[in-house]
Homo-oligomer: A and B are copies of this chain.
Amino acid sequence: MVEQKATNVHWHEGDVTREHRQQVLGQKGATIWFTGLSGSGKSTIAVALEKELISRGNITYRLDGDNVRLGINKNLGFSAEDRHENIRRIGEVSKLFCDTGIIALSSFISPYRVDRDMVRELHESAGMDFIEVFVDCSLEEAERRDPKGLYKKARAGEIKGFTGIDDPYEAPEKPEVHLHSDQMSIEDELAALLEELNKRGIVAAE
């Protein structure tokens, strides 16, 4: 990976590849996949990382329920089949961002190991970096926070199949980064993520 952004890449022949885009961008494309319970702090750390990286001149894009469920996945519901297809499409979109040279920050509960492993395989079989980040928070703490009031509804039986209540969360066995969001500060979480990104040459060390 080159360290500096090039404003003028001399182009001679052949198709434009991921490597060329990465050279212009001065970074390596990657998918950082945040998984964890509702309320565990996935979006909070993804937003913090996005801010930190753009201040360094890196380009990221956050994929989350807001821009996915209302857009590409707006024709999907919450059946088992649709949940699987939801994660598959997000995985494919993340992969397109990687191929562009962008750092995709994908933040979804994604409770099933088989789905996350499918997305990992999509990336790794194409030589792309997939960084699984387990945003680990006790159910008690996530339920105490309950930022969207969803646990309350799930406990009252108004929402069925809610992860952690009446549907399982399958914790990652070997995540690239394991954050204990009920014990770590945002600064410490950021440091752990940046260390992983530096180690892989995704962004240049400051």
Contact = CB atoms under 8 A, between A and B. Distances in A.
A90 to B, nearest CB: 9
Contacts of A50: 15-16
Interface string A1-42: 000111111110001100011001110000000000000000
Contacts of A101: 59
A183 interface: no
Contact of A96 (B7, B56, B93): B93
Interface of A: 4-11, 15-16, 20-21, 24-26, 47, 50-51, 54-63, 67, 71-72, 75, 85, 89, 92-93, 95-97, 99-102
A115 to B, nearest CB: 15
Given A24-B54, A93-B96, A100-B102, 13 more contacts: A8-B55, A9-B54, A9-B55, A11-B51, A11-B54, A11-B55, A16-B54, A16-B60, A21-B61, A59-B100, A61-B100, A63-B96, A72-B89
A155 to B, nearest CB: 31
Contacts of A61: 21, 96, 99-100
Nearest to A95: B71
A15 B47 contact: yes
Contacts of A9: 54-55, 57
A7 B53 CA distance: 11
B92 A54 contact: no
Nearest 5 Cβ contacts at the A-B interface:
A72-B92, A11-B55, A7-B57, A71-B92, A61-B100
A57 B8 contact: yes
A71 B96 CA distance: 9
A101 B101 CA distance: 13
A153 B129 CA distance: 41
